[in-house]
Each structure stands twice: as C-alpha cells, then as structure tokens.
A and B are shown apart, each in its own frame.
Chain A
Amino acid sequence: MNILETPSDKLLAGIRTLLAVKGIATADEVAERIRITDSASPARGAAMVARAWTEPAFRELMLRDGTAAAESMGVPMRGLPPLGVLENTDETHHLVVCTLCSCYPRAVLGYPPFWFKSAAYRARAVRDPRGLLVDFGTSIPAEMKLEVVDSTADYRWMVLPVRPAGTEGWSAEQLAGLVREGDMIGVTIPKGP
C-alpha cells in the first residue's frame, strides 16, 4: 500500500480502528474531542479579552496563567498545551505565527483562519512583519516596538489587545463584540466606536 495514494477517509477509518483496538482512544472519546474542538470559536477568546479589560484581577490571572484563566471561564483545557497570553501595550505590539506548521490556541480561538497556515504568512511574519501588517490594513507607529512570537513548542499563544479608546463604561458583553480573531493573533487591532 502506498500511504500517499490511499484515500484519506480510508486512512482515517484505519487510524480510528487502530486507536480503539489498541485501547488508546474509544470512538466515543474521539467523538467527544471533535465536539469540543468544533465548539471552540474566537468568541471564547473575545470573552476573555473583554473580561481582562474590565476586571483587573482576571487580567492579572490571564497574563500569569492563561490556562487557568480559560478554565475559570468554562473552557475545557484538560490535556491541551498550556495557553500563554501576550499583552499588547501602547509601547509594544505582538504578532503570533507558527513558522514550523500550525500551532494555534484552538481551545480559545477555534480553528485557525486559512491564511495562518499558509507558507506566505509564516515566512513574512518573521521576515517582514511590518509589511505584513500593512497588508492586513494595520498601522503600527514607527516608534512602537513590534515583537513577533514564533510558536514553536509546547505553548499556544494569544494576544491580549489594547482596549480601544471611546469604550469607557462599556460592559464586558459589549466589549467582547469588538474583538475579532485577528486582534488576538496580532494581525489587526480592535477598533473603537
């Protein structure tokens, strides 16, 4: 059998059967993991960001231990890589990439956007990050420090963006509505009203 020419659905069925036969994971456990993965979306990350903007104690926890912060909001993190949170400030902007492949904080952001895994994004993020941001319509002042975070190993990283001006007095629910997927990768910046 040439594994490269075997239909992927047959390979998948074979792997599922082997996992069950070898007692590694039952069909129910696989189904449960798929359900958890499918139910994750950027709305979860946005809710964490909005809470960090409105609750200083949660912000502190999120920056110190992203996994604990996610769990405290009901996100299942058991068995997943630790979540690290990068704080954007008026001085520093973070941009996340995985040059090796596709490491992504799926538990809090869901499936990565299609471009996140593209060779072009992965190469440009480390080689020409400011040019890449311009292509995303994001302008970073020349005096602001830009830090690219290459997610290569055991952590998964998300960005805690700067709260936009003009949102004073907003509720966490209102604020969460402003936060987009790209804001938590660092390719965009949340826009105020």
Chain B
Amino acid sequence: MQGASMKLKPGTTVQVKLDWPETRGPCHIRTPHYLRGHTGVVVRHLGDYPNPEDLAFDRPAPVLPLYHVRFPLAGLWPDAKGDDTILVELYGSWLEAA
C-alpha cells in the first residue's frame, strides 16, 4: 500500500502494480487490465474515496487517495503512434514509485 499512505505530487512518475487479483478469486477492480505494470505520470490528486474494491463486497473500506494519471498511448499498444495520451483515475493502492 505504498502509494496509499503517501500523497503523490503532480509530475510524479508512477508504475501501476503488475497484479492480477482476478486470478486469485472473486474481486472488484477499478484498475483497467491494459494499464497493469505500465508507467505514467500523476496529473492531480482528485480527492480521497472509500476503496470500491471493498465497498463492492460490503466490507469496511479504507479511504484512499484517487489520482488522475496520464499514460502515453504509444507505451500501451504496439501499433500506437504519435503523442496521444490516456488519462485514468487510479487509487493510490495501485501505484508504486517508478
């Protein structure tokens, strides 16, 4: 929970955890599969929200920082060209310092 405990500043380079909880059993995930393991840059802190991965199962949900993180499209897809980007909401629990 490295990224969950600290507040990441805009401009920080982060890596999305290369983790596949869906292979371990029933779960609810808000981190798209196509971003796992990829590196992006924090654009802004969007606020703090209860973890939907717990809310979905009616478990006590710790409040996590939510960030807007930007990724170059060319880093995600082998056939992507140019400077286009993708901006995604990710919880701190999924982010690690890169």
Taking beta carbons and an 8 Å cutoff, which residues of A are in contact with B?
82, 84, 99-100, 126-130, 142, 145-155
Chain B min CB distance to A154 (Å): 5
A145 to B80, CA, bound (A): 14
B46, B76, B82, B86 interface centre (most CB from chain A within 10 Å):
B86
Chain A min CB distance to B70 (Å): 8
Given the interface pairs A100-B30, A100-B32, A145-B83, the reply to whether A150 lies near B88 with Cβ below 8 Å is: yes
Taking beta carbons and an 8 Å cutoff, which residues of B are in contact with A?
30-32, 34, 46-47, 49, 52, 66, 70, 73, 76-77, 79-80, 82-91
Residues of chain B contacted by A151 (CB below 8 angstroms): 89
Residues of chain A contacted by B32 (CB below 8 angstroms): 99-100, 126, 150, 152
A99 to B77, CA, bound (A): 15
A126, A145, A146 interface centre (most CB from chain B within 10 Å):
A126
Q: Identify A153's interface contact among B34, B52, B73, B82, CB under 8 A.
A: B52
In the bound complex, do residue A150 and residue B87 qualify as a contact, i.e. CB atoms below 8 Å apart?
yes
Residues of chain A contacted by B31 (CB below 8 angstroms): 152
Q: Which residue of B lies closest to A125 (CB)?
A: B86
Known: A99-B34, A126-B34, A153-B89. 8 other contacts (CB 8 A): A84-B46, A99-B32, A126-B32, A126-B86, A147-B86, A149-B87, A151-B89, A154-B89
In the bound complex, do residue A152 and residue B84 qualify as a contact, i.e. CB atoms below 8 Å apart?
no
Given the interface pairs A82-B47, A99-B32, A148-B73, the reply to whether A153 lies near B91 with Cβ below 8 Å is: yes
Closest 9 CB pairs of A and B: A153-B89, A146-B84, A148-B86, A150-B88, A154-B49, A149-B87, A152-B89, A152-B30, A147-B85
A14 to B70, CA, bound (A): 43
**A-B residue pairs in contact (CB < 8 Å), sample of 10:** A82-B47, A84-B46, A99-B32, A99-B34, A126-B34, A126-B86, A148-B73, A148-B85, A148-B86, A153-B91
